[in-house]
A and B are shown apart, each in its own frame.
Chain A
Amino acid sequence: MRRLVASAALFGAVALSSMAHAQTTGATLFAQNCSACHQLTGLGIHGAFPALAGDPFVIGDPTRPAYVLLHGRGGMPNFSEDLSDADIAAVLSYVRSSWGNHAPPLDASLVAAVRGGGAAPPKERSVLPGH
């Protein structure tokens, strides 16, 4: 950990640019995976898809929204097989800091910890879609 901090101090410029990169990645991942329902505005659609802007759940304890991304909830799918821990951290960090949200970012290790705590089992790898 100390070594990590030292590296971050030494290569501050790199760290900054990688943060900017994470923000871009987060925005892209959000547009690709989340915007169909929550909308690019983060406002969702009233009565159908929850708003993420100003949502206490989203800007609160980051382990809880991370859990939802890994397990799904209600009409929301489980992204545990489609997004890596780093992806989930990036997209959640983006959501927590966009549209007026000001919650701190999270990193992949937090997502890994949540995933390790009993993530959903892998989906059946059948290639024959049901229904």
Chain B
Amino acid sequence: MATESNGAAFSRRDFLQQLQGWGGTALMMAGMDALGFGIASAATAPPTLTGGGAGKKVIVLGTGVAGLTSAYELSSAGYDVTVLEARDRVGGRSYTARKGTKLTELGGEPQVCDFDEGYYINPGPWRIPYSHRGYLHYAKKFKVGLELFNNENEHAYIKFDKGTGPLAGRPVRKQEITADTRGYANEILAKQVRQGALDAEFAPGDKELFLDYLRSEGYLTKDDFKYIGTDGRGMDENPGAGLDPGVPSTPHKLTDILHSQTWRTLQSVGSLDMQHTMFEPIGGMDQLPAGFVRNLKPIIRLGHVVEKISQTPEQVTVAFTGPDGQKGTVTGDYCVCTIPLSVLRGIDLDVTPEFKEAITGVSYALVCKIGLQMKTRFWEDNHQIYGGHVYVDDPGVNVISLPSTGWLGEKGVILGFYPQGASAARVSAMSLAGRRDYALSVGQKVFPEYTESNDGSFSIAWHRVPFNMGGWAQWTEEGRAKYYPKLLEPQGRLYLAGEHLSYITGWQEGGIESAWSQISKLHKRAMATV
């Protein structure tokens, strides 16, 4: 916490502690709500684990961010922590593929990343919302440099093939769709308001202000509230020096936009986890795990595949197969298991049948990504697109994302597809070369330079990756009600943690905050039994 420089955070915490002192937890909780925390909302700092750990031994399984957070906080608090990791690397899904990275999916061909030195793709998590304060806490603490991730680029293209009309099947700049759709919508609404059709909606004095808003939001003409275009949709010729004011562009027809379906990319505001500001770690997503490892006291035992977790009332024992195939066990007072439920369901566990059933009560996302190394940054040089996403309506691709790093450099790595669900099943059935060719064929229809420029690729289908078996947990409402609460409670001496035990599934933040929550419970119990 020494690195926390936000004075407001401290004063709020002080205030809450005061409240707790005066009126107990209930008053503190009310205070939290009043301060806008929301009781169920994200934690913003790790739990304070005082008391020294009392010599208790904790086994942490897995070194994704949930396992690393658990290992770091518990060992810092004085626990004797042993960390087992099945792979020969740390980080789990917080992963970066670069030159020489090897991956063989279940049932797949061996793959070695063939990017040039210094180029990479984040095949797992790739963007950090500003609201994910647990992640940002550790990035700051471990001095992991961040850079902005461009999650929205108005100058990027939308290319939808499934619509109809003149805007279907060709790349259109998103700014044109945004400006025209909103311009017309505001114009239509303004017309109704000015005709008095909506008078019942307004309190005295509201109507003029509302019309001002419509005119401003939609770039409507001053006197007659018409949408005739605006420079933000792009100019036919940009303005220049001297006597060159530029040439304005002409809006598309509303009917053409509607039938092109491109308006489906528009939202009034980004969803909570998709807004500006978005970050990414400089140098790749594996930099935060590396930061943990630099600061972690316990040595991580790589290549240890968990075979069985058994327990007595006093102890928990984890049986494993080590890197050379030798069997072994490790015994502790508690175990924090961050193995994904998709994998845990296949491990021999000493838990109740109800707990076992709950582990199988969630499905995992099928999801694929491909990184395509390009010889030139044609999207910047020729199209003036700097980061952000090109949207396509082929569900096998969804987005083509341009890198938010290496601006104006020589080469770059593009995210060439990001399918999920049944589309991911289909893409993952292709050979490695087939996936690349498929990604190139879709991108080629957006950028003429695409295929010619490609000189490397690395693809992943997370549902086929050993020790992951899926992208992230996908709880149904029924599963949340029936199974989820069971998994939050310890089974004997076994505590589960990970993104799957949060309402922020599929984000590293979920793993971090789940770890905080579970180790707090563990600590409370350990201290109570000293």
Q: Which residues of the partner chain A approach B273 to less than 8 Å between Cβ atoms?
A: 130
Interface pair A129/B398, CB less than 8 Å apart: yes
A31 to B399, CA, bound (A): 25
A16 to B285, CA, bound (A): 56
Could you mark each residue 19-52 of chain A with 1 if its beta carbon is under 8 Å from any beta carbon of chain B, else 0? 0000000000001111111010000010111000
Q: Which of chain B's residues has its CB closest to A31's CB?
A: B429
Interface pair B264/A126, CB less than 8 Å apart: yes
Contact of A113 with B by CB under 8 A = no
A34 to B464, CA, bound (A): 12
Interface pair B107/A45, CB less than 8 Å apart: yes
Interface pair B107/A74, CB less than 8 Å apart: no
Specify which of A33, A76, A83, A127 lies most central, judged by the most chain B CB atoms within 10 Å of its CB.
Answer: A127
Contact of A100 with B by CB under 8 A = no
Known A-B contacts A48-B469, A131-B471; A79 and B391 likewise in contact (beta carbons under 8 Å): no
Known A-B contacts A37-B463, A47-B346, A128-B391; A72 and B363 likewise in contact (beta carbons under 8 Å): yes
> How distant is A44 from chain B, measured CB to nearest CB, in Å?
9
Q: Which residues of the partner chain A approach B418 to less than 8 Å between Cβ atoms?
A: 129
Q: Which residues of the partner chain A approach B364 to less than 8 Å between Cβ atoms?
A: 74-75
- A-facing residues in B455-514 (Cβ within 8 Å): 461, 463-464, 466, 469-472, 506-507
Contact of A81 with B by CB under 8 A = yes
> How distant is A79 from chain B, measured CB to nearest CB, in Å?
5
Could you mark each residue 393-432 of chain B with 1 if its beta carbon is under 8 Å from any beta carbon of chain A, else 0? 1010011000000000000000000101111111011000
Known A-B contacts A33-B422, A74-B360, A129-B398; A39 and B107 likewise in contact (beta carbons under 8 Å): yes
> How distant is A70 from chain B, measured CB to nearest CB, in Å?
11
Contact of B265 with A by CB under 8 A = yes
Q: Which residues of the partner chain A approach B363 to less than 8 Å between Cβ atoms?
A: 72-76
> How distant is A14 from chain B, measured CB to nearest CB, in Å?
31
Contact of A125 with B by CB under 8 A = yes
Q: Which residues of the partner chain A approach B68 to less than 8 Å between Cβ atoms?
A: none
Q: Which of chain A's residues has its CB closest to B470's CB?
A: A75
Per a CB cutoff under 8 Å, which of B106, B265, B274, B425 touches A34? B425
Q: Which of chain B's residues has its CB closest to A82's CB?
A: B422
Contact of B366 with A by CB under 8 A = yes
A128 to B270, CA, bound (A): 10
Contact of B230 with A by CB under 8 A = no
Per a CB cutoff under 8 Å, which of A37, A72, A73 touches B464? A37
**Interface size on B (CB < 8 Å)?**
40
A109 to B395, CA, bound (A): 27
Per a CB cutoff under 8 Å, which of B342, B422, B469, B507 touches A131? B507
Interface pair B425/A130, CB less than 8 Å apart: no
Contact of A123 with B by CB under 8 A = yes
**Interface size on A (CB < 8 Å)?**
31
Interface pair A77/B421, CB less than 8 Å apart: yes
A127 to B261, CA, bound (A): 10
Known A-B contacts A48-B469, A73-B363; A78 and B463 likewise in contact (beta carbons under 8 Å): no
Specify which of B274, B426, B428, B506 lies most central, judged by the most chain A CB atoms within 10 Å of its CB.
Answer: B426
Known A-B contacts A73-B363, A74-B363, A75-B342; A131 and B472 likewise in contact (beta carbons under 8 Å): yes
Q: Which residues of the partner chain A approach B107 to less than 8 Å between Cβ atoms?
A: 36-37, 39, 45, 49
A33 to B395, CA, bound (A): 13
Q: Which of chain A's residues has its CB closest to B397's CB?
A: A129
> How distant is A43 from chain B, measured CB to nearest CB, in Å?
10
> How distant is B199 from chain A, measured CB to nearest CB, in Å?
34
Q: Which of chain B's residues has its CB closest to A41's CB?
A: B107
> How distant is A22 from chain B, measured CB to nearest CB, in Å?
20
> How distant is A80 from chain B, measured CB to nearest CB, in Å?
9
> How distant is A27 from chain B, measured CB to nearest CB, in Å?
13
> How distant is B488 from chain A, measured CB to nearest CB, in Å?
21
> How distant is A36 from chain B, measured CB to nearest CB, in Å?
4
Interface pair A82/B398, CB less than 8 Å apart: no
- What are 24 A-B pairs with beta-carbon distances under 8 A? A33-B422, A33-B425, A36-B461, A37-B107, A37-B464, A48-B106, A72-B363, A73-B363, A74-B363, A75-B342, A75-B363, A75-B364, A77-B422, A77-B425, A78-B422, A82-B422, A127-B264, A128-B274, A128-B391, A129-B398, A129-B418, A129-B420, A130-B506, A131-B507
Interface residues of B (CB under 8 A from A): 106-107, 125, 264-265, 267, 273-274, 342, 346, 360, 363-364, 366-367, 391, 393, 395, 398-399, 418, 420-426, 428-429, 461, 463-464, 466, 469-472, 506-507
Besides the known contacts A125-B264, A127-B264, A129-B398, 16 further A-B residue pairs in the complex with CB atoms under 8 A apart: A33-B422, A36-B107, A36-B463, A47-B346, A48-B346, A73-B363, A75-B363, A82-B422, A82-B426, A83-B422, A123-B421, A126-B264, A128-B267, A129-B399, A130-B273, A130-B506
